[in-house]
Amino acid sequence: MGYFPFFVDLEGREGLVVGGGAVALRKLQKLLPYGPRLTVAAPELLAEIEALPGLTRLRRSFAPAMLEGKGFVIAATDDREVNRGIAALCRERGIPVNAVDDKEQCTFLFPALVKRGYLTVGVSTAGASPSAAAWVGRRVSERLPEDFGELLDYLASLRPMVRKRVAEENRAAVFARLFSACMEEGFPLKEAALAAVLEGAPGMGKVYLVGAGCGAADLITVRGLRLLERCGAVVYDDLLDQALLDAAPEGAEKIYVGKRRGRHSMAQEDINALLIAKAREGKEVVRLKGGDPFVFGRGGEEALALQAAGIAWGYVPGVTSAVAVPGAAGIPVTHRGVSRSFCVVTARTADSADGLPENLEELAHLPGTLVFLMGLSRLEEIARGLTGAGLPPDTPVAVIGGKNAPRTIRGTLGDIAERAREAAAPAVIVVGGTAGMDLRG
C-alpha cells in the first residue's frame, strides 16, 4: 500500500537532522527551501553543511535531549543501530521520523521532489524503489516549462485584482481561463488579452479541436497533450489508443460520441450543440479526434458552429492517417522519381448516386499518389472506376487495414479487390507507384 502525500507547511517549524555526511547534506538541501528552522547534530560536519545558511549546528553526538521541541527528525548517521535508536525514541514521543534507508523505522518518507516556485511535486514508491521515484520525478521535470515558477508568481499577483473585479461565483472560471491563456499565449498577458479574460462572458470556456494522431498515444502533439492534461471535458470518438483518455484530469468529463457495437455515431448537429453547451458551462473542452480534425474529421463544421455561437476555439493539428498509416507500412506518399504529389480522397460521399467520389475520372489522370480513406467496402467499385477512367490495371495498390495491428495487402488495380476480401476495417487504400514500395526498417 502506498503513502498518502500530505503537504505540510514547514515554515518556521523546528526540525533535527542527525548526521554530518553526504546523506544528511541531501536531506538538508531538500528541506531548506521550505523554510524550517533546522538543527544538525554530528561530531563532524561536511564543509558543504558548514556552508549552508540558517542552520543551528551541534558538533557532538546525538543525545535524547536534542529531541525537545522538535516537530520532525531525520536520522542520517552512518550507523544503522544509532538511527534505529533515534527512530524508536521519536515513535515513543510521537515525533515524525525518517531513518535513512530503513523504511520499517520511518513514520514518513522523503519523496523525489520537483520544485518550481510555488509548485511542488512529490513522487514516492513507498520505499519500493527510490530510483524509480527519481526517474518519474525527472520525467515530470522535463515536461514542465522552465519558467513555470515565474508563471505561478504572475498568477498569484493577479489574484487580488480578480477578487476585486470578479464576482465570487465566477472567479474559479476566470482563474482557469487566466492559466489557460498564459499557457497558450505566454505571460505576462498583454493588456487586451488580460481584459478579455476578466471581462469575458461569465463562465465562458473554450473549445480546442485536437488531432490525436494516428496509432499510439504518444503520436499526439505536445500541445495537444498539454491541453488534454488540463481540460474540464473531453469529447471523443473512436480513438486508436484509449490510453489518451487517461491523460485527462481525474475530474474531467469524458463524453463518447463515436460508434460502438454497431450503434450510429451522434449526429453532427448534436455534437456541435454539446461542444457549445460544455463551453458555456465554463469548461475548457478538448474535442479529441483521431488523425487530424480538418482531414475528413468534420472539424470545419464544428468550428463554424462554435463561431456562430460566439465560443472561442482553437485548432491543434494531428498526424493524419492518410500519411501515417501508409508510412507505417513502408509506403511513402511521395518519393522522388515516383510521386511528387498526393491526393487524399474520401471514398464515401452523400453527394453522388452511388456514394462514390464523383471525380474518379479526374483522379485517374492526376500525377502522384491517391490515398482513399473509409473506402474498404467500396474497393471493387473504386478499382473498376479508376481503370475504366484510364489508369492501367497493373497500377500498384496497397490496402492497410485493421485497428490494433494493421495488415498490409498489396496488389494492383486489377486484382486488389479479390486479394483484400479478408482485410479488416478501418482501412487506408493507396494507389500509385509508391504503393509498390516497402521501406519498413
Same domain, 355 and 384: yes
Q: Note whether 285 and 155 are within 8 A (CB).
A: no
Take residue 263 and report the three cell numbers written for it.
Answer: 450503434
Q: Given 319, 345, 376, which residue is the final one in a domain?
A: 319
Same domain, 251 and 333: no
44 is a domain residue: yes
| Percent of the chain whose pLDDT exceeds 90 | 68
87 is a domain residue: yes
Query: Is a pLDDT exceeding 90 seen at residue 322?
Result: yes
The SS3 of residue 296 is coil
Please report which confidence band the pLDDT of residue 354 belongs to, taking 50, 70 and 90 as the band edges.
low
Radius of gyration in angstroms for the set of CA atoms belonging to the chain, rounded to a whole number: 30
5 is a domain residue: no
Q: Please, how many CA atoms are within 13 Å of residue 70, restricted to the half-sphere of its CB? A: 26
| Percent of the chain whose pLDDT exceeds 70 | 94
Query: Is a pLDDT exceeding 80 seen at residue 160?
Result: yes
Residue 261 confidence (pLDDT): 44
Q: Given 158, 182, 202, which residue is the final one in a domain?
A: 202
Q: Dmax of the chain from CA atoms?
A: 97
Same domain, 377 and 307: no
- pLDDT tens-digit series, residues 261-271: 455 678 999 99
Q: What are phi and psi of 191, to 5 degrees?
A: -55, -40
Take residue 427 and report the three cell numbers written for it.
Answer: 482501412
Query: Is a pLDDT exceeding 70 seen at residue 61?
Result: yes
Q: How far is CA 221 from the centre of its chain?
A: 9
Cell numbers 486508436 label which residue?
240
118 is a domain residue: no
Q: What are phi and psi of 304, to 5 degrees?
A: -65, -40
DSSP assignments along 198-254, one per residue: HHSPTT--EEEEEE-BSSSGGGS-HHHHHHHHH-SEEEE---S-GGGGGGS-TT-EE
Same domain, 290 and 253: yes
List, edge to edge, every strand of the sheet that includes 37-41.
55-58, 37-41, 14-18, 72-75, 97-99
Q: Please, how many CA atoms are within 13 Å of residue 97, restricted to the half-sphere of its CB? A: 24
238-246: average pLDDT: 83
Residues 6+ apart with CB under 8 A from 373: 296, 321, 322, 344, 345, 346, 347, 428, 429
Q: Given 154, 178, 202, which residue is the final one in a domain?
A: 202
Q: Note whether 292 and 317 are within 8 A (CB).
A: yes
Residues 6+ apart with CB under 8 A from 293: 209, 210, 211, 287, 299, 302, 315, 317, 318
Cell numbers 521501406 label which residue?
439
Active-site residues: which are they? 237, 259
The SS3 of residue 320 is coil
- pLDDT tens-digit series, residues 10-54: 999 999 999 999 999 999 999 999 999 999 999 999 999 999 999
Which of 319 and 202 is assigned the larger pLDDT?
319
> What CATH number does the domain containing 391 carry?
3.30.950.10
Query: What is the DSSP-derived secondary structure letter of residue 319?
Result: -
Same domain, 343 and 432: yes
416-430: average pLDDT: 88
> Rounded to two decimals, what is the model's pTM?
0.69
The Cα 42–Cα 44 span in angstroms is 5
353-371: average pLDDT: 83
Mean pLDDT score of the chain = 90
What is the extent of the structural domain holding 196? 145-202
DSSP assignments along 321-362, one per residue: HHHHHHHHTT--S-BTTTBS-EEEEES--TTSTTSS-TTHHH
> What CATH number does the domain containing 280 carry?
3.40.1010.10
40 is a domain residue: yes
139 is a domain residue: no
Same domain, 347 and 269: no
Q: Which letter, b or e, does each residue of 34-43 get, where b requires 16 or more Cβ atoms within 10 Å of its Cβ?
A: bebbbbbbbe
Query: Is a pLDDT exceeding 50 seen at residue 325?
Result: yes
Same domain, 409 and 391: yes
Same domain, 208 and 197: no
160-167: average pLDDT: 91
Take residue 393 and report the three cell numbers written for it.
Answer: 490495371
Q: Is the peptide bond before 53 cis (omega within 30 degrees of 0)?
A: no
Number of domains in the chain: 4
> What CATH number does the domain containing 68 carry?
3.40.50.720
137 is a domain residue: no
Same domain, 311 and 341: no
Same domain, 294 and 332: no
**Secondary structure element (H or E) that encloses residue 29, with its range:** helix 22-31
Same domain, 399 and 306: no
Same domain, 407 and 344: yes
9 is a domain residue: no
Fill in the amino acid letter for 345: V
Count of all residues that appear for the chain in the document: 441
